[in-house]
């Protein structure tokens, strides 16, 4: 650093090369890079494969294997079990193997497992393939989410993740439509072949990725310095009366001035609060996003779960998982309910309208999240979800059901993408994989246990009352969100 002018620029370049956030004063980094575009397309390919096969697997087991209804349903849900298991071990695998190599292997495995459906293997082998396929999908989706969330500029987290999650939205709309159309008109072998081709497109997309090298922090001083800088960038709207945040702001500003003046020793200086002597100093550890996160983190910090679970992500992940528990009622029971009330025609395009609402609203909600924080964006989304479920419960014509699809698309899409942005934007790069795995793990749990528990409830109360209960679940999730996010530092 030859001069006070050259020093900040060099520091900025070194931070960007290591995956750390750039300083606030630096020029905003672009969002639509080659990595971002390739990763978003890759996520669409694997999501489309997933949804295409999910909607036909139960009918395939019933018609080809003459399996009982419960076994046929398990052929579909076994995929979710494999995905859930993968969430626990993907983060350690990324640390050991590397993100990009693991992603390429996962994509190749998805193609191979999809091709195995063409062999008409025995029913037990089909269930085994579904489990392994779910595991491979879980690995790929977790790794690509980690890569994307690490390269999205901190000041554009909400917008970037909103665009990225549109790939799942398109997959959830095109996949089921293509799967049902191909199965009904050309048979299951053609369906499986097209699904394999779709999955194979993820391989060149993975090979196009050139993500920055993951941050590998060695030594507490370096870790403390990088965590402080990352937290300062992410917590742009920190509450002014929090002493730790004030100390961080003053310390980082003082160190930046010293470095700019040409004092290289300031880059490796000890913590200005504890002088490197206190292992529990808040400046030497990750700064919690909420008070609840701080409590949960203290419980998990010294347990074996810390390798597989990012404790600070659990609160917002539980909120989103609860909402996806309600969403599972649509995946499982919307078709029989619509047929029962004579709205089968509207149900056939319900998820197209649902995906359209997500596609239209996510870019705007992402930008709003970055500008004003989570509350003004997510609170209307929770009410939209509950209102949508209530409209489904009282639907009397096609237009009511499609209107409910629009409300639910906005609600679920906004909560999912903004919840993920809340979860990852203050996570350090070396814990980003664990944070993504934790978030998706709770979503998988909500979608996975929903059909089982609600399947017991439906015979007792009926479909209409079920969807009223799901509207109440949305309000409960909203109340929990207020508890989780009441001190969220991103709120401006």
Q: Is the pLDDT of residue 229 over 70?
A: no
Lowest mean pLDDT segment, chosen from 60-74, 253-267, 343-357, 363-377: 253-267
Pick the most confident of 183-187, 367-371, 429-433: 183-187
* Structural Rg of the chain based on CA atoms: 23
Q: Where are the domains of the chain?
A: 32-210, 287-491
d(CA 156, CA 38): 18
Model confidence at 308, pLDDT cuts 50, 70, 90, reads low
Lowest mean pLDDT segment, chosen from 12-21, 22-31, 323-332, 411-420: 12-21
Number of residues that this document lists for the chain: 492
pLDDT in tens, 286-304: 444 455 556 666 666 666 6
Q: Is the pLDDT of residue 49 over 90?
A: yes
The reported pLDDT for the residue numbered 218 is 37
Q: Is the pLDDT of residue 217 over 70?
A: no
The reported pLDDT for the residue numbered 17 is 41
Q: What's the burial of 84, exposed, middle or buried (CB within 10 Å: 0-12/13-18/19+)?
A: buried
- Buried-state track 150-186, b at ≥16 Cβ within 10 A, e below 16: bbbbbbbbbbbbbbbbbbbbbbbbbbbbbbbebbeee
More reliable by pLDDT, 491 or 409: 409
* Domain 32-210 and domain 287-491 have a common topology: yes
pTM of whole model > 0.75? no
Q: Are 82 and 138 in contact (CB under 8 A)?
A: yes
Q: Is the pLDDT of residue 90 over 80?
A: yes
What's domain 32-210's architecture?
Up-down Bundle (1.20)
Average pLDDT over residues 147-161: 80
Q: What is the mean pLDDT of the chain?
A: 75
Q: Are 196 and 2 in contact (CB under 8 A)?
A: no
Model confidence at 45, pLDDT cuts 50, 70, 90, reads very high
Q: Across 332-438, where does the E strand assignment appear?
A: none
The reported pLDDT for the residue numbered 42 is 95
The reported pLDDT for the residue numbered 116 is 94
Handedness of CA 409, 410, 415, 416 (dihedral sign): positive
pLDDT in tens, 316-367: 888 999 998 988 888 777 877 888 888 878 877 887 888 888 888 877 887 8
Q: Are 126 and 114 in contact (CB under 8 A)?
A: no
Q: Is the pLDDT of residue 240 over 70?
A: no
Task: Give the other-Cβ count within 10 Å of 483's Cβ.
Answer: 12
Q: Is the pLDDT of residue 7 over 50?
A: no
d(CA 55, CA 63): 14
The rounded percent of the chain whose pLDDT value lies above 90 is 25
The reported pLDDT for the residue numbered 273 is 42
Q: Is the pLDDT of residue 22 over 70?
A: no
The reported pLDDT for the residue numbered 299 is 64
Q: Which residue has the tokens 């995946």?
A: 331
d(CA 269, CA 405): 55
Q: Is the pLDDT of residue 242 over 60?
A: no
More reliable by pLDDT, 69 or 134: 134
Q: Are 137 and 79 in contact (CB under 8 A)?
A: yes
Lowest mean pLDDT segment, chosen from 55-59, 258-262, 427-431: 258-262
Q: Is the pLDDT of residue 190 over 80?
A: yes
Which CATH number is 287-491 given?
A: 1.20.1250.20
Q: Are 334 and 343 in contact (CB under 8 A)?
A: no
Task: Give the other-Cβ count within 10 Å of 37's Cβ.
Answer: 15
């Amino acid at each position: 650093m030859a001069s006070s002018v050259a020093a900040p620029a060099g520091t900025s370049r070194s931070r960007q090369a290591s995956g750390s956030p750039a300083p606030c004063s630096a020029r905003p980094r672009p969002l639509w890079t080659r990595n971002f575009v390739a990763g978003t397309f890759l996520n669409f390919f694997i999501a489309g494969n997933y949804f295409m096969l999910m909607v036909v697997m139960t009918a395939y087991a019933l018609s080809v294997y003459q399996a009982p209804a419960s076994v046929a349903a398990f052929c579909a849900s076994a995929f979710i079990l494999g995905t859930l298991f993968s969430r626990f071990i993907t983060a350690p695998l990324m640390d050991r193997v590397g993100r990009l190599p693991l992603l390429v292997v996962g994509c190749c495995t998805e193609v191979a497992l999809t091709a195995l459906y063409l062999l008409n293997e025995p029913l037990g082998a089909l269930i085994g393939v579904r489990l392994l396929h779910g595991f491979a999908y879980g690995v790929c989706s977790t790794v690509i989410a980690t890569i994307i969330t690490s390269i999205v500029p901190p000041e554009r987290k909400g917008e970037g993740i909103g665009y990225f999650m549109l790939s799942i939205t398109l997959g959830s709309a095109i996949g089921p439509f293509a799967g049902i159309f191909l199965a009904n008109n050309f048979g299951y072998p053609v369906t499986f072949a097209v699904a394999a081709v779709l999955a194979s497109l993820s391989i060149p997309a993975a090979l196009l990725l050139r993500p920055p090298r993951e941050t590998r922090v060695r030594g507490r001083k370096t870790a403390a310095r990088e965590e402080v800088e990352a937290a300062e960038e992410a917590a742009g709207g920190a509450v002014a009366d929090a002493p730790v945040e004030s100390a961080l702001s003053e310390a980082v500003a003082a160190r930046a001035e010293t470095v700019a003046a040409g004092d290289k020793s300031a880059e490796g200086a000890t913590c200005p609060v504890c002088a490197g002597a206190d292992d529990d100093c808040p400046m030497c550890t990750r700064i919690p996003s909420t008070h609840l996160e701080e409590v949960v983190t203290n419980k998990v910090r010294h347990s074996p779960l810390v390798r597989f679970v990012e404790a600070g992500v659990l609160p917002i992940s539980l909120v989103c998982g609860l909402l996806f528990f309600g969403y599972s009622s649509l995946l499982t029971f919307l078709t029989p309910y619509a047929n029962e009330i004579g709205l089968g025609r509207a149900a056939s395009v319900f998820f197209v309208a649902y995906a359209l609402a997500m596609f239209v609203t996510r870019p705007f909600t992402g930008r709003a999240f970055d500008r004003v924080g989570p509350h003004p964006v997510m609170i209307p989304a929770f009410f939209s979800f509950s209102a949508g479920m209530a409209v489904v419960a009282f639907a009397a014509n096609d237009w009511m059901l499609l209107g409910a699809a629009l409300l639910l698309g906005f609600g679920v899409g906004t909560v999912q993408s903004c919840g993920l942005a809340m979860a990852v934007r203050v996570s350090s790069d070396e814990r980003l994989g664990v944070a993504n795995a934790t978030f998706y793990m709770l979503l998988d749990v909500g979608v996975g246990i929903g059909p089982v528990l609600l399947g017991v409830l439906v015979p007792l109360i009926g479909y209409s009352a079920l969807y009223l209960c799901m509207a109440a679940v949305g309000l409960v999730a909203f109340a929990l969100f207020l508890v989780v996010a009441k001190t969220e530092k991103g709120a401006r």
